[in-house]
Amino acid sequence: MTAVSKQLPPPEQAVDDAAAVASRAALQSSPLRPIVRHLGDRRAALCAGLLGFACFLPYPAINVGGTSAVQMGNILTLLMVLPVAPLLLFRRPFHIVPLAIVPLLVSTLAVAATGSDDFLLSVKITVALIVSLMTIWAAQLYAPRYSMALLTGVAVATVLHALVGFWQFYSFRSATFPIPQLYVNQSFLSVQENVNTIARYIQRPFGIFPEPSAMSSSLAPWVLLWAAYFCDIIRFKQQPARWQRLMFAAAAAGALMLMILSRSGHAAITLTALAAIGLIWAFRTKVKPQVQLSVLAVGALALPFVLMLAFDAMADRLGGVSKMGNSSWEDRTSSLVIGFRLFAEGGLGTALFGVGPGISSPALWDLVRLEAVWSILLSYIYETGLLGAIAVVWVGRELMRAWKGAGRDLAFPLIFFVWLVGITITTSYPQLLPLWIALGWLSVWPSVCERVSYAPVATKPAVAAVQVQRPVRFAPRRAALAGRGA
């Protein structure tokens, strides 16, 4: 009787089957289920890729009114999120979006209660901020299931920014600005009105963004994400194909080079975080000590250049050095200080509800002729008061919860720190959708990334000495010889 052996699938296929089963189980409890059922899995993945691409292109946009515009990313976000928005209001981690919206609504009502003429301005700014914040929902909703599609769209857009930025850098030598007709978005400072100034005097490339600080704040978190992946500090839950890895590498290298050429102060912070990732890789990777020492030596040699870059980026814009005497860092600091003074001297109502959404900008212009508080985070707190500060602390708590759920890997705090610097002291444009895509990605970190554990290398057990016996047939002869000797 012969036993019939059952043919088992290869290990790779077994892993893929298990991942597919887990994905189907996660979809059953996900708010994304109605969308996947209606569109199909492949079309939903394509929408996620288009979302990542469109949200990284603030130009061109459809101008609405006198100072607002609707971007392609806004349109896609509304189409992809509104059908399931009621399912997201009270679920973790989606609840951070309504948590950030409530202080804006309360502050707007407080402005209406005072009878201020700026009520309509507050309503318009609140609506624009709500539309931008809904991008967080889009990332939270689609990233866990379609993380590679979303990242691929982000990478393609980043490569496009780098190519346009290199074209700008080359064109600035002849004092020309390429394709100014593309920059249509009245939500930002008009690039078209300042083409000659940018090409002749400023000469800092920024891709298809409104200015270099906005570009560096938008791209830096993703550069660190890809660097952490290639340095084997984190692993994506969905493994990218070979062509996707090449696209991620090209996007990270191109974005980093563009940030350096732009002389943005945020580039120095990003390079410092990259150096930390390199040190983590050097100490945790399983290579010879000679290789680790070589990496440390290269890092020690590169550190002075990082410091020189930081000094050049700061000194060039602290007044008097550049051809225009461009003192953006001085103006930036002044806007933060005066904005805080408006908030602190406004009384109890201002302390609780803020000065009102959008009201800090005209107040700063009347006082010192500055356009706005050059900080997304501080501007939000100044305009929403104590309620907004509580919402910010709550969102930070949820991010720490996500980091803890992923095993406290070392990449998350570096990416979060660089992102936080970007929204605090680097840019003042809440219409930059890449910032909210990054926040949504961080809030679902355990669903898209996992920590790479480094177990100590097991030592081989010592092989015990084995005594070899000679054949038994020689035993009687040895015994006889032993008897004679006795």
SS (H, E, C) 302-362: HHHHHHHHHHHHHHCCCCCCCCCCCCHHHHHHHHHHHHHHHHHCCCHHHHHHCCCCCCHHH
Measured between alpha carbons, how far apart are the two ends of the chain, in Å? Answer: 61
Query: What is the per-residue pLDDT across 247-279, written as a single tens digit (0 to 9) for each?
Result: 999 999 999 999 988 888 888 889 889 988 888
Structure tokens that stand for 280 in this block: 């983590």
The burial of 135, by beta-carbon neighbours within 10 Å (0-12 exposed, 13-18 middle, 19 or more buried), is given as buried
Task: Round the average pLDDT of the chain to a whole number and report it.
Answer: 81
* Helical spans, DSSP H, in 239-288: 242-262, 265-284
Tell whether the model's pLDDT for residue 444 goes beyond 50.
yes
3-state DSSP call for residue 193? Answer: helix
What pLDDT score does 330 carry? 67
On whether the CB atoms of residues 135 and 433 are closer than 8 A, the answer is yes
Q: Is the peptide bond before 60 cis (omega within 30 degrees of 0)?
A: yes
Residue 476 has pLDDT above 60, yes or no: no
Strands 234-236 and 68-70: unpaired
Contact by Cβ (8 Å): 216, 158: no
pLDDT at 186: 87
> Per-residue pLDDT for 289 more than 90?
no
Q: Which amino acid is at 385?
A: G
Judge contact between 231 and 281, C-beta under 8 A.
yes
Stretch 390-399: mean pLDDT, rounded? 94
pLDDT given for residue 309 in this prediction: 60
Highest mean pLDDT among 20-29, 161-170, 311-320: 161-170
Q: Which residue has the tokens 């030592």?
A: 459
Backbone angles phi, psi at 30, to 5 degrees: -95, 145
Task: Give CA separation, 310 vs 99, 206, 262, 306, in Å.
Answer: 36, 17, 12, 6
Of 79-83, 90-94, 461-465, the least confident: 461-465
At 455 the pLDDT is: 54
- The structure tokens listed for 450 are 């996992």
The top-scoring range by mean pLDDT among 81-85, 439-443, 454-458 is 439-443
Q: Which has the closest alpha carbon to 376: 420, 429, 431, 419?
A: 429
pLDDT score recorded for residue 28: 54
